[in-house]
Structure 1
Amino acid sequence: MVNILGPKSKKLPAIILAGGRATRMGGGNKALRVLGGETLLARVIARLSDQCAPVAINANTDPEAFAGYKLPIIADTIPGFPGPLAGILAGMEWAAGLGAEAVVSVSVDTPFLPLDLVHRLREAAGRHGIALAASTDAETGRMQDHPTCSLWPVSLREDLAQAIESGLLRPGQFAAAYDPGRAVFASQPFDPFTNVNTPGDLAEAEALTRTPAGSLRGF
């Protein structure tokens, strides 16, 4: 495969997807919910800080809410909160403007991201340059994709814009058309892509922050 991701010694940019309306959390700014003494956003930034540069936040609320993080705020370029694909597209367009070949996307509600996520995604990239994060169920061994936490070549941004305009909403559906690779992670001691979508999820995740793997920077 032709290397479309650039030299592996060069860090890729990352976009943190925080542009949703947090309806299952009861509204408000989910990125700023506190978990283990830190916001969800701060935890994701800490997990990414040694893996990617630069890092930006995809958000559709008042940018001043994120002023303390001193990171670029990238809003969706497609109106109406169409979902995470719009945030990924915004990240692709931002990364292309930086001259990057690809961008890493992660969701703000995944505060336990692997510390080798980006390395593994780059190693797993498929023939079109897409790699999806995935994890295996500890009991059944079944694999589950986590397409909001993935690697996307910016060369596909026009294809993605057209797909969104045609009504496509799910990142996994878009990726499936381009023979993606997968970086598969074990779910021990817990799934590193554990989502915090509801107040109940937040309470369960609080207990995980008191384990070594769930600390701010993991093991």
Structure 2
Amino acid sequence: MPTTLSRPPEDAITGIILAGGLGTRMGGADKGLQLHHGKALVCHVAARLAPQVARLMINANRNQSTYATFGYPLVADHISGFAGPLAGLHAALSTAHTPLVVTAPCDSPDLPYDLVDRLYQALRAGPANLAIARTAERIHPVFCLCHRSLLPQLTAYLEGGGRRVAAWCAAMGAIEVDFSDQGDAFGNFNTLDDLAGH
């Protein structure tokens, strides 16, 4: 577990909550605005991520007036056509003024409180410019810490039709950071039935 002394500099990282999708598996519902224990999913994510970063933004392509009421700056995709999570990362890298950007999806309300610290320590220790979360079962590349220097490579990947987050992360030599001790923290809601069951 990182100590307080190993925390990233306060002005180093911008957080971005990825809420720009079409909600296809939710029947077109805007995922981030669905209620979980009486609050929008995006608010649960913000409550956990905001204390870990210098600035927090929300990537949203629909219902922006509603998202604006939560008090965080909004950024829409710069790549058209609802190109997925990488388009949200691209928008953040294009907008942020910090050297690093961390992403989290809007449908994972229990993300780790030390997500950023642990990704940052791995990035600081290794040669890569990208770190992603992993548990015993699988990688979670939408939880990533990315250096802004990777923007040209990401732009080229998206403009070439690439959409797969895991494939791009692998191509960039991403460091996988083990969060197996918090495997449940990466649970997410894909359908309205999932939400109804909680």
Q: Establish whether TM, by shorter chain, passes 0.5.
A: yes
| 1:38 alignment partner in structure 2 | 39
CA distance in 2: counterparts of 1:168 and 1:101, whole angstroms: 24
> Structure 2: any 5+ residue segments left out of the alignment?
1-6
Whether 1:50 and 2:13 are equivalent positions in the alignment is no
| 1:149 alignment partner in structure 2 | 143
Equivalent position to 1:194, from 187, 190, 193? 187
> Structure 1: any 5+ residue segments left out of the alignment?
1-6, 137-142, 207-219
Secondary structure at 1:133 match in 2: strand
Consecutive aligned runs of 4 or more in structure 1 exceeding 6 Å deviation? none
1:102–1:152 contact (8 Å) kept in structure 2: yes
Deviation readout 1:20-74 (Å, 9 max, x if unpaired): 0001111122111111121101100001121012100001113211122111110
Instruction: In structure 2, give the amino acid aligned to 1:120.
Output: R
CA distance in 2: counterparts of 1:122 and 1:201, whole angstroms: 31
| 2:68 alignment partner in structure 1 | 67
Secondary structure at 1:191 match in 2: helix
**Number of residue equivalences:** 189
- Tell me the CA shift for residue 128 of structure 1: 2.4
Secondary structure at 1:9 match in 2: coil
Taking only the aligned residue pairs, the percentage that are identical comes to: 40
CA distance in 2: counterparts of 1:104 and 1:169, whole angstroms: 18
Larger helix proportion, structure 1 or 2?
A: 2
Deviation readout 1:139-176 (Å, 9 max, x if unpaired): xxxx4111111111111101101001111111111111
Provide the alpha-carbon RMSD of the alignment.
1.5
Q: TM-score, normalised by structure 1?
A: 0.82
1:67-106 pair list within 5 angstroms: 67-95=68-96, 98=97, 100-106=98-104
Instruction: In structure 1, give the amino acid aligned to 2:179.
Output: F
